[in-house]
Amino acid sequence: MRTVDLSPLYRSFIGFDHLASLMDAAARTDKQPSFPPYNIEALDQDKYQITMAVAGFSEQELNIESENNTLKVAGVKADKVSQAERKFIHQGIAERNFERKFQLGDHVKVIAAQLDNGLLVIDLEREVPEALKPQKIAIRKSKLIESN
């Protein structure tokens, strides 16, 4: 695995010390499973949407949690009919439990979630507090001190 030298970034970016740890976490070899498939879409400058294909899961079997800039979506199937009683010729619909985590940017909040036709849609929005938005700084004129 390659290491990346971030020292040039530190010359012009202040307060991004956590950037290295985020990049390390993203580059770890323990990859998330590919189930369930999902899309991440940018709807607007500060609005996002995650769509997950969760066919066969009911609302009661899905759990969505947001904590410390991490969104966790989990699906736990209720007790199902014994596999011995069912005889599949082909089983292409996964009926397994899952947990998927998404790292959210600062001030990104989950706005809503809905389940429709086997698709779980999660709406997200970045809500930057007024105190953190760019502010115009006035420049005062200084008085020249004359020496005699």
40-82: pLDDT as tens digits = 999 888 899 999 999 888 899 999 999 888 899 999 987 665 5
Residue 10 lies in a domain: no
State pTM to two decimals. Answer: 0.66
CB 73 within 8 A of CB 57: no
Q: Which residue has the higher pLDDT, 82 or 99?
A: 99
Residue 100 lies in a domain: yes
pLDDT digits (tens, 9 = 90+) for 31-42: 666 788 999 999
Residue 113 lies in a domain: yes
CB 106 within 8 A of CB 127: no
Residue 58 lies in a domain: yes
For residue 105, what is the domain's CATH number? 2.60.40.790
Given a cut of 60, is residue 131 above it in pLDDT?
A: yes
For the stretch 56-64, contacts whose Cβ atoms lie closer than 8 Å and that sit 24 or more positions apart, written own/partner, are 56/93, 56/94, 56/95, 56/118, 57/115, 57/118, 57/120, 58/115, 59/115, 62/115, 62/120, 64/110, 64/113, 64/122
Residue 23 lies in a domain: no
Q: Which residue has the higher pLDDT, 104 or 12?
A: 104
Residue 77 lies in a domain: yes
Domain containing residue 93: 33-128
Strand partners, 114: 121
Q: How many domains does the chain have?
A: 1
Residue 51 lies in a domain: yes
For the chain, the average pLDDT equals 79
Residue 70 lies in a domain: yes
